Amino acid sequence: MLLFIIKRLLVIVPMALIVVSITWGLVRLAPGNFYSGEKKLPIAIEANIREKYGLDKPWYQQYAMMISNVVRGDFGDSLKYEGQSVNEIIRRHLPYSAILGFSAYLLALFIGLSAGLIASLKQNSKFDYGAMSISMTGQSVPNFVIGPILVLIFSFGLYLLPPARYNGILSLIMPVITLAAIYAAYIARLTRAGMLEVLRSDYIRTARAKGLSEWTVLLRHAIKGGLIPVVSYTGPALAGLLAGTVVVEKVFAYPGLGSVFIQALLNRDEPLILGVVAFLSIMIMIFNLLVDISYAFLDPRIRYE
Amino acid sequence: MRCSLGKVRLGVFSLVLSLLVSSCGTSAKGKYYGKTVAPTDGIVRYVTGSEPRSLDPAIGTGQPEARIYMALFDGLVEYHPKDMSPIPALAESWEISSDGTEYLFNLRKNAKFSDGTPITAKDFVYSFRRALSPELTAENAVLAYFIKYSQAYNSGQVFVKDSSGKFLLKEAAEPKNEAGLPVVELAKTSVGTQTEFDKFINEPERLTVAGTEKERTKLYEKDTKLKDKLAGMEFVPVTPENVGVEAVDDFKFRIKLNQPAPYFLGLLAHQFFKVVPQHTIEKHGKNWTRPENIVTSGTFKVAQYRPYDTLNLTKDENNWDAENVKLKGIEFYPLEDQTTMMNLYKAGSIDAIFNHTVPAAWIREIMAAYPDEYMNHPEAATEFYVISVKKPPMDNVKVRQAFALAVDRKALAKLLVVKKPLVDFTPEGIFPQYEEARKKVQDVKLKELNISEEQWKNRIFDPERARKLLGEAGFAVSGSDGNFQCQNFPIENVSILYNTSESNKVTAEFMQDQWKKNLGITVPLKNMEFKTFLPTLTKVEYQGFGRRGWNADYMDPFTYLGLFYTEANDGATGWSDKKYDELLAKANRTIDTEQRFTILAEAEFYMMQQQLVVPLSTAATNWMKKPYLKGFYPNPGTLHAWKFAYIEPDSAKWDKDVYNIMKEKDSLFEEQLAKLISTQTQFEEKSKAEAAKTATP
Amino acid sequence: MENETVKGTSLWKDAWKRLKKNKLSVFGLYFVAFIALLVFLGPILLSYGFGITPDQMPSNSDLLRSMPPSLKHWMGTDDSGRDILARVLQGGRISLMVGLISTFVSLLVGVSYGAIAGYFGGRIDSIMMRIVDAIYSIPYILIVIVLLKVFEGKNTPEFIKSISNTFGGGEALNQIFLLFLALGLVSWLTMARVVRGQILSLKNQEFVLAAKATGVSTFGIIFRHLVPNVFGPVIVYATLTIPSVMLTEAFLSYLGIGVQAPYASWGSMAADGIKNISIFPWQLIFPSVTMALTLFSLNFLGDGLRDALDPQTRKF
């Protein structure tokens, strides 16, 4: 197990470099430049810009330069936001995304797991239908619809919450609910499916046959195996949440990493794109490693050679 | 049981619905849109659009930044809050040489940066040279190219010196310089005291060529004579000291242009020409704009900056005009989502929003329900479709005319609610003096070309003639009203290219529908994300039509007509025409305004006969402000001189019926403005009197 | 065809019986079928029967926009005066297609990929899963932008053109199908992870060992024995993919790299409609309620199918 973890940790950096390289290639293939604007630049100014940022050098030199900087953890300055370093930008917006993302995921876990458990234990009953219907709302109604409707109700109907911008804990409520709605639906349905699978499996039947109480069976045996699909889903979901959730951020004017990243993509702000992608890929690999480790705890049958 | 569950759900649903309805209801009943309480802290909260690129005024190019720079930095002149004409700022007065190429500014003696360092003419020289330095790669540098040798310095060019030590002159080598700005033979007049620099800068313009051998080789390929001419010559780099800006003394700043440009004074209010602190920039380098380092020259200074969230400014007590600044501070929020900012506005969290922020579908309702808040005024911005004129079938002028005539622009304007149809290329209602000249030119031309009044009047929409023209071009339109067909039109060779935005989409869909209805041609739509769209448009890679808008850089029709100037080639149509270029060049040589406008109008008429564009609409401002925010006007560029803004606590004095806000005389505002302008008017009167005195004996 | 399967094995018949037990699933099935039929036939009926097409605007003289539902326009009209019903039907084609194609890809690629990685484990698993991680980390918006540029105009692959030609052709449709392709490319990743996780836990169970002992080929073990046992989560996750892909499509359209105007999708119509919720609520309600009902139905159908096809359930 320890060897497995070390191996996986060692692979993270080279993998991140590969991802960064591919992304770099894609940015170069994408049409447009960070400096292209509505007005045509005189040739001389464009030449100056290209020289300043080393764009006049052959591509392999530019690539080598980029990689050697990235290896040192230095992504340089944003091309769009003059004088702000990429590391600084990520460090500034990450906490916002982390708070929003984790609270939303916790709420989603609470709603999703309860709904999923109820549904699986009382399959095909009105509890099943009711729990699933509620949790599915977040899945069936887009979050760019849920958000504004919440605003209409809580900001302009009840005058309880500020409609947008981050200004203390109160302004987190609606973004968290909107975001949690989507994830709750996933978790509820994956829990229900996973639990139903497990509840009918041989070892649960054996446990039941042994005369263990229903609760013991559920908590000690079933829930572990039943959660595997949810756990699989949680890895990438959490990493994605850290990288921000653009729609919710836009609706609530929330300063998370998501809008920064989308803007960077649309601006062709190469250093910023590469920085966020590198961060995101490392997070994904770490979270997926945690997921794989937790498999082993949830299900003793899973072993890693 | 199931029934009860249904009931619960129905109950929840109806509760939600009633809340939705009630929340809409309350908004419609009030006199003002949402919560309207004048803030007591003296701070205005404003949404300015996307996150600023930098706090360095030489870097940011957009309007969102421009509004921030107007608070943070002062320049020689400032935009008039109502009509955007230049009014005194750090220059309390100025004079212009009789040939219109030399400007002398008398600076204020009490001006200070936010750290208390005095602002002198040297700071302006530094700021101009820095903004133009090739290392800064400022995208706006082109705005300063009227300043003598500024383009040469900005592009890293060199002078050419022969063996006898004499510099080669420009006129002898080529008739035009690189930006396509014509070289003009001028009377060498100047204003202010004679200096060494003045002598140098008033010498005939020297020839400048590309700074590197590689680029010169490229020039030689085009012009073989140039190679012979430059053989054996010495190349002397153009230095910042060569640029036509000079500190005559501590408080006199002089600018020399390479041609008269009647709109140059107005251009000087632009962010690119604001004064920046040399000492701070040299100390901190590129980090000088960080909140902990930044030193500013404007009426406000940075208090706190959280990118993507808030930029807090407070009043700068060191500013020369501090006693007239009424706000204690400004909070800028970078926001782009229309619904979000309307929500914040409604909740009373912001006091005003930038332009084009009320969603199109809401305008009619908002305009009717909130006349004290909705800003609908003329704007110096147009929208049109450029045509790729080199690619068939659009290379045929008749086809182009047919497409232009087959669009009901009035219906389009109605669809876009506050916009007005754009008839010719330069907008109506912005340059009244030019419009008079244009009317006269048009009358003459119509007689010359034998165009009937009827046909001329119908140039805004004439589907009948459109079909006829298309037929003449070889694409016969058959069928009858509501069911036209144009069988042999090569539909695969045209498309409507536009960049993503709600209003662009609405317009494009409307255009598609119009051409389908009136010509029987369904032109495919092509929507692209902005950065994909740009190269496709500017390199004229598109076929058919491309969506274009133009906001005036300065208050002169040349800002529009210059788009199709061959070498500037900003028009993205692939069109280039000697006659048009010559007309524009001639206009720029002409100092008399009326004469100049007549020539420009001829150029516009000529260009419109070629139908390079399908004119669509003239924009109107489309934003809201709370009635308690006063001294804040919907000028044609939505650029606000913040020192005039104030918060009126007394609701009896709040702005009413803002459709007439431009005509209303707010005494507080008028007095402040008059006081500010008086330094220049007094100066003019004094010079006039002196001139009269010298003339009498 | 149905007859054949029923005769061949009672599996499907049993499944159908079990599915019928779940009332909501049955409702879901009928509703999805109804919507599919409506979306397929509706636009044709509307245009021949009433002369209403999705991108038709009112004639120049009477620009009647944003009209509430009426006898002529059952769902009202939008900002440009177009019939919302016609647009909902046409948008449904695109939305359903986006959902189906991506789900198909995620079933085909995601399931086999995840199953192979999970079954072999060790180094193969490591490599395959790191590839998934890598693709997951590359911003798909960038992939879509590049894909659209590279395959633009004349460079559109032939197979895309031929598919789009069967639906009328044209560049706007080409781009829509390119978009489907791009969405398909990224939609299988989580499915692969989910399946792999399940297979990891199943592969050491007795029935697999038994199959191995009796000499069943590796391929047979994976696809005959293991994959059917993960159907539950797979079906659930597949039905979860549909809404998420539809929303991704709406987001891409918002950025200008999605569905080309004048085509619309439910997602993009809802996005347009939400802005006008306080003034013209029908512009939001009709597209989003249609979408929500369809997704609800699909999800309940998914849950029902899961229960019905669950191999363990069969034993009871």
| Closest CA–CA distance from residue C190 to any residue of chain A (Å) | 7
The answer to whether the CB atoms of B24 and C59 lie below 8 A apart is no
The answer to whether the CB atoms of A251 and B340 lie below 8 A apart is yes
**CA B328 to chain CA mean position, Å:** 29
User: What is the rounded CA–CA span in Å between residue A43 and residue B155?
Assistant: 9
Residue written as tokens 């935009």? B79
Cβ pairs A/B, distance under 8 A? 159
Q: Which residues pair with B625 in a beta bridge?
A: B352
Q: Which residues pair with B235 in a beta bridge?
A: B160
The answer to whether the CB atoms of B528 and C256 lie below 8 A apart is yes
Q: Return phi, psi of residue B475, to 5°.
A: -120, 85
Complex prediction ipTM: 0.88
β pairing state of B310-315 and B329-334: antiparallel
DSSP B117: P
In this prediction, the residues of chain C whose per-residue pLDDT falls under 70 are 1-11, 49, 51, 59-64, 310-316
Would an 8 Å CB–CB cutoff place C300 in contact with chain A?
A: yes
For position B430, what pLDDT does the model report? 83
pLDDT tens for each residue of B249-264: 999 999 999 888 888 9
Residue C216 CB burial class (10 angstroms; 0-12, 13-18, ≥19) = middle
**C 145-174 residues with CB below 8 A of A?**
145-146, 149-150
For position A97, what pLDDT does the model report? 92
In this prediction, the residues of chain B whose per-residue pLDDT falls under 70 are 1-29, 171-189, 567-569, 696-697
H-helix or E-strand spanning residue B159: strand B158-161
In this prediction, the residues of chain A whose per-residue pLDDT falls under 50 are none
Of A41, A148, A255, the CB nearest to B339: A148
Which residues lie below 8 Å from residue B622, measured CB to CB, with a gap of 6+? B355, B356, B357, B358, B363, B375, B376, B418
Residue written as tokens 């109107």? B620
For position A305, what pLDDT does the model report? 55
The answer to whether the CB atoms of B289 and A82 lie below 8 A apart is yes
Are B612 and B573 a contacting pair, CB within 8 Å?
yes
Tokens of B366: 């908002």
For position B170, what pLDDT does the model report? 78
Count other C-beta atoms under 10 Å from residue C184's C-beta: 19
| Closest CA–CA distance from residue B482 to any residue of chain C (Å) | 9
For position B25, what pLDDT does the model report? 41
For position B77, what pLDDT does the model report? 96
Region of residue A77 (phi > 0: left; psi between -120 and 50: alpha; otherwise: beta): beta
The answer to whether the CB atoms of C171 and B526 lie below 8 A apart is yes
For position B172, what pLDDT does the model report? 44
Residue written as tokens 């100014």? A45
For position B24, what pLDDT does the model report? 45
Of A229, A246, A303, the CB nearest to C233: A229
For position B574, what pLDDT does the model report? 87
Cα angle B80-B82-B88, degrees, rounded to a multiple of 5: 10
Residue of C nearest to A125 (CA): C22
Residue C163's Cβ-side half-sphere holds a number of Cα atoms within 13 Å equal to 16
pLDDT tens for each residue of A27-44: 999 988 888 877 778 888
H-helix or E-strand spanning residue B245: strand B245-249
Residue written as tokens 């501090």? B322
pTM: 0.88
Would an 8 Å CB–CB cutoff place B532 in contact with chain C?
A: yes
DSSP B290: S
3-state helix, strand, coil in chain A (%, to 5): 75, 0, 25
User: What is the rounded CA–CA span in Å between residue A177 and residue A198?
Assistant: 30
User: What is the rounded CA–CA span in Å between residue C10 and residue C8?
Assistant: 7
